[in-house]
Structure 1
Amino acid sequence: MLRRKLNQLFVKIFVWFWCMLLLVVAVVIALPTLDSRVMRQLDPRSVSILNSIAHNIARSAERYPNIPLQVLITPKEAQTKNFYLVRMNGDIISSSKASKAIRRFILQSEESPQPKVKQYKNWLMTGPIPIKLRGEPFQLYAAQQLPAEHNIWLINVLDRPFLLLFITMFVSMPLCASLAWHISKPLQKLQRTAAEITDGNLDAVVPATQRQDEIGELARSLRTMMFSIREHISLQHRLLSDISHELRSPLTRLKMSVALSKRHYGETKEILRIDTESQRLEEMISALLNLSKTQLNATNKESFNLDSLLQPICDDAIFEAEQLDKSFSHQSIPDLNIKGFPALFGSAIENVIRNALRYANQQVHLAIRSDTDKITFVITDDGPGVPEDEIEQIFKPFYRVSQARDRESGGAGLGLAITENAIRQHHGKIVASNRETHGLQITISIPIS
């Protein structure tokens, strides 16, 4: 249980945040201590070296009592190293003039019980070391010239806070990137899988993961959900097959009984009524099964040519319109390739055109508009239209308009429901509206992908 809690995404982000914060604080605190321009205690090794130099100077002063002290403390490398003797009254003895920096260092360190060190520009100053020369007490200081590039990078960083901030951000960037990758990489895989499922690919494989955090739990839940969906779909397929068989068998027997009754008793009013209702029942069952199959059978999208799909449908519509003493016209069909379900989409357009031909007085027209990101189909007729308070209901299954459009035809109210389902599976939109003069207008728009 404890291990599982520690693997939670919240804990990982929380710990990472505080580790990064502690790292930044540690860097900010540690860097100033590395600044050689800040006076600090001289390390034991350097103190030992200065004591050795002081001892050698004292021995030389005893051996050569007539040589001036400024000569005795002048090293061979005088250009890069200088020594200074300070009397108790503050007088400075040296082979060269003491700079303001060394004077300031002497004043700051003269009361210190331990030798100090400080850098000023490219000079490193150390001292004091107590020394007795020819019976007189002195304080020994040393100044050594450093290479021009000595600690220049650290000094530049410390003198430029924004540069220090940039370096801190640059150093933390790989750590931030690793955390972002650790979180976003599996989420991107899950997002791609979810997009495939949205497109209708129910065979999409949810990537397996050994993670024990919330992302791993999400992936495992999604896998379980996919298995459950596939199982339910399989059960619905079997159910549809059983319903189809069980409904059609008694319906077939009913139609055979009607035919036998016609042979024995003739076409009576009651028998004709039973025959009509049985035909309507057969149409309703076929439409219902068609609706269910369109909801279940669309799995993998494919690319299809719009002109090749719709031109035969329009040719059939022109022929059927002529048989009904009506006319059907359409605009030029764009030569576009669309990704989707061609049979489903063709059936949707055909349903709307046939519905318009059924209720039109004389004319039905198909207009097509192609934009950069979508294509729009507008089917208009000059029929009676639909009452405004019912126009939003016509895409619901089994809904039949109270006036003539479905009542007189005896329709089951499933044609537009099938069409709406097909357009929705193409991530499109279908809208019905009455024309300003008379008639109904169906507008279908789908994205081009």
Structure 2
Amino acid sequence: MKSKSSFLNTLPFHIFFAIFGLSVALLFALTMIYPYLDTCFCAELDDQEFSDYENKISTLITNDHLNQILSGNKISVEGFENQQLILIDEDGKIFGAKHNEHAFIREFIYYHPLESKPFRKNLYNVQIVGGFSVDFATNIEKQITPYKLYFITRVNPQEKMLSYIFTHPRLVILILMLISVPLLCWYSFNITTPLKNLQIAANTVTLTNFNPDPKLETKGIIELRRVGKSFNHMISSLKSHISNQQSLLSSISHELRTPLTRLQLALALLRRRVGENAEIIRIEKEANRLNEMIQELLLLSSQKLNCHVNHEIFPITEIWGDIIKDAKFESEQRHLIFNVKQFIGKPQERHIKGNKVLLRRAVENIVRNAMKYAKSEVQMSIFMKDKYFCITIDDNGMGVPDDEYENIFKPFYRIDEARTRETGGVGLGLSIVENVIKAHFGHVWAMQSPLGGLRLTICLPLWITI
């Protein structure tokens, strides 16, 4: 039973049977049952048909065939060999019909009052044409009496319906469209909805949200369910892998901090014993760098795993407001020029959705990076580009070679070891910036600055475009 149900929900079955086969089957089913459902449709006789029937009726009266009907005799009239003749008097009495035929004759009369014009109607497997008003002298009363005359013919309603439909190609196309369009809409919904859910799940993964979505395995056709199941399995495996990596980094950090703490304690004892000297200062500096590297490494790993946490919608000014104040104060102490150019009208009315703390840290990182290497000037520009807002930081420092612009975002990458020892740092700052900006669907890149040093630019989408 499970195997049969699975087959009925497969893509080939939907395409072939549900769309093509079912459409044709419903067309034929409609053709078969329509004559039994259409008990209200009547067709008037055209002029030629009415004239032909009038001529036949004149022949019936002339040859006294109608009196034979009243007497209960069966007659055969040239041109009407397959038709049964029925007479009904003013009192509604039926002549020439069998008892089991009275029901559909009275049904016909119900839809065709005696005073109306003759017309044609199919009732089940018979076709009735009438009623024609006839006046003739009967053998019983010997006087002219008014009657209604009806012609009954046995027909195959399905054959007539099929013949009519397939002789009108436009009608065939219309019926097929009426049947297939709802099926196609239903079929499209069954495909597009799981695909949309899969797209949403993929987007959440880009936000480092590694939670499987059960709907991917229960909604839609079986092929898409299998894809959803594989996708959820991939997410679970990825989440497990990252969790193991995080645990490994935490364990390594813990193991490294223990000998590092002992080293710092031994260094303090050595300083107390022998006093301050160049070797002790060098050891202390390297120990501090090692401690900073461990902290930065754990921060980078934590950001990659939890960047999607604590997302909120807030004005873009909250990203750089306090950073600019701190940078101006610090630049004055270091005798640097720090200029800010803001080209966005009413920035407080523009918003972004993301992690405020991480975005502030990313902007602060590139600002401090510029101030660290600048000789005398740092310039910050804020502007709009399409549906993104961008922040550019320029400095007049030594700059970076053209072939190193992409490398500076790699973890632990340092261009000049001598300059690193002079300025400090472990080579993780820009890597953290890139990780945060990409997690918010933004972009970050480096290039030569017009001031002569390095230009770093970050662009982030406004929240309505995410």
Q: TM-score, normalised by structure 1?
A: 0.68
Q: % of aligned pairs identical?
A: 37
SS at match of 2:423: coil
CA distance in 1, matches of 2:450, 2:377: 16
CA shift, 1:420, in A, is 0.7
Preserved contact between residue 201 and residue 213 of structure 2 (Cα < 8 Å): yes
In the alignment, structure 2 segments of 5+ residues that lack a partner are 36-42, 44-56, 72-76, 78-84, 90-125, 132-148, 152-160
- Closer/same/farther in 2, CA of residues 359 and 420 from structure 1, 3 Å limit: same
Letter in 2 for 1:421: N
Equivalent positions of 1:175-214 (< 5 A) are: 175-203=183-211, 205-207=213-215, 209-210=217-218, 213-214=222-223
CA shift, 1:190, in A, is 3.1
Preserved contact between residue 313 and residue 351 of structure 2 (Cα < 8 Å): yes
Matched, 1:350 2:364: yes
Preserved contact between residue 366 and residue 379 of structure 1 (Cα < 8 Å): yes
CA distance in 1, matches of 2:356, 2:377: 27
Task: Give the alignment's Cα RMSD to 1 decimal.
Answer: 4.3
CA distance in 1, matches of 2:200, 2:293: 39
Equivalent positions of 1:303-382 (< 5 A) are: 303-332=313-342, 334-335=347-348, 336-371=350-385, 373-382=387-396
CA distance in 2, matches of 1:180, 1:171: 15
CA shift, 1:12, in A, is 3.1
- Closer/same/farther in 2, CA of residues 382 and 258 from structure 1, 3 Å limit: same
Match of 2:240 in 1: 231
Equivalent positions of 1:65-104 (< 5 A) are: none
Matched, 1:10 2:24: no
- Closer/same/farther in 2, CA of residues 329 and 58 from structure 1, 3 Å limit: closer
Query: 1:240 is matched with which residue: 242, 249, 257?
Result: 249
- Closer/same/farther in 2, CA of residues 76 and 248 from structure 1, 3 Å limit: closer
Letter in 1 for 2:301: S
SS at match of 1:438: coil
CA shift, 1:404, in A, is 6.6
Query: 2:263 is matched with which residue: 254, 259, 262?
Result: 254
- Closer/same/farther in 2, CA of residues 208 and 183 from structure 1, 3 Å limit: closer
CA distance in 1, matches of 2:223, 2:325: 56
CA distance in 1, matches of 2:246, 2:208: 16
Match of 1:44 in 2: none
Letter in 2 for 1:387: P
CA shift, 1:203, in A, is 4.3
Preserved contact between residue 368 and residue 377 of structure 1 (Cα < 8 Å): yes
Match of 2:448 in 1: 434
Deviations 1:364-402 (A, max 9, x none): 111111245211111111111101121221101111113
Preserved contact between residue 202 and residue 299 of structure 1 (Cα < 8 Å): no
Match of 1:264 in 2: 273
CA distance in 1, matches of 2:17, 2:172: 24
SS at match of 1:394: helix
CA shift, 1:294, in A, is 1.3
Match of 1:275 in 2: 284
CA distance in 1, matches of 2:313, 2:66: 99
CA shift, 1:163, in A, is 5.0
Preserved contact between residue 429 and residue 444 of structure 1 (Cα < 8 Å): yes
- Closer/same/farther in 2, CA of residues 295 and 238 from structure 1, 3 Å limit: same
Deviations 1:339-373 (A, max 9, x none): 01111111111110000001111111111112452
- Closer/same/farther in 2, CA of residues 2 and 206 from structure 1, 3 Å limit: closer
SS at match of 1:331: strand
Deviations 1:118-137 (A, max 9, x none): 9xxx999xxxxxxxxxxxxx
- Closer/same/farther in 2, CA of residues 322 and 446 from structure 1, 3 Å limit: same
Count of aligned pairs: 362
Preserved contact between residue 338 and residue 379 of structure 2 (Cα < 8 Å): yes
CA shift, 1:338, in A, is 0.7
